[in-house]
A and B are shown apart, each in its own frame.
Chain A
Amino acid sequence: KNEVEQSPQNLTAQEGEFITINCSYSVGISALHWLQQHPGGGIVSLFMLSSGKKKHGRLIATINIQEKHSSLHITASHPRDSAVYICAVILGGSQGNLIFGKGTKLSVKP
């Protein structure tokens, strides 16, 4: 069993739809990243969370430390949101290495 599980693996939505991507983890963490990877490879960190909720434009990320669960929401989705979204947890402890989920491939159709 992977230490970081994401769902769904693939997601197709119509432009304007509300989207939710989920991430569950089974290890102790100090923080969690939601990453976005566009075709061509580059990765950008959208959010880093250690508690609560963060919002940036149409993107909202939440984390529940007790339940070891995080969600990424996209409101009013747009074709330019099409990308792979990756949940990555930072292990607790001094080393702080990352463990990645397998990613959710999102395709938003016009």
Chain B
Amino acid sequence: EADIYQTPRYLVIGTGKKITLECSQTMGHDKMYWYQQDPGMELHLIHYSYGVNSTEKGDLSSESTVSRIRTEHFPLTLESARPSHTSQYLCASGTLWGNTIYFGEGSWLTVV
């Protein structure tokens, strides 16, 4: 079983609010990812990291930001939420030189 956790699982917030989605893994993985997935649609990479102090933007343009101060923690922040940010956000992690990947349970965000 994967040791990767996301909080909150479900969140409804108002437009303009700041929100941080948390992702933690206890497997010591260097690679961590954030994906955005609208219902019934494919996953899109929005941010990734290959280790502490390393962060990159993914293929899908996103107004969110991430940080990687500790190996196990990869939070995603929206400074000012908008209804267009309503989506599911999935965190994942993997080893630097391997091909395995583990996903968190996902965070469903609704901005009203």
Q: Which residues of A contact B (CB under 8 A)?
A: 30-31, 33, 35, 40-45, 48, 50, 86, 88, 90, 96-98, 100-103, 105
Contact = CB atoms under 8 A, between A and B. Distances in A.
B90 A43 contact: yes
Nearest to B89: A41
B101 A86 contact: no
B74 interface: no
A105 B41 CA distance: 11
Interface residues of B, number: 22
Contacts of A105: 40
Contact of B42 (A30, A45, A96, A101): A101
Nearest to A6: B42
B41 A102 contact: yes
Nearest to A50: B99
Contact of A97 (B2, B48, B102): B48
Nearest to A31: B99
B99 A48 contact: yes
Contacts of B41: 102
Contacts of A88: 101
Interface in B52-83: none
Contacts of B106: 40-43
Contacts of B31: 96
Contact of A98 (B40, B45, B88): B45
A105 B43 CA distance: 14
A35 B101 CA distance: 10
A96 B88 contact: no
Given A41-B90, A103-B42, A98 B103 contact: no
Given A97-B48, A103-B42, A41 B99 contact: no
Contacts of A42: 103-106
Nearest to B103: A43
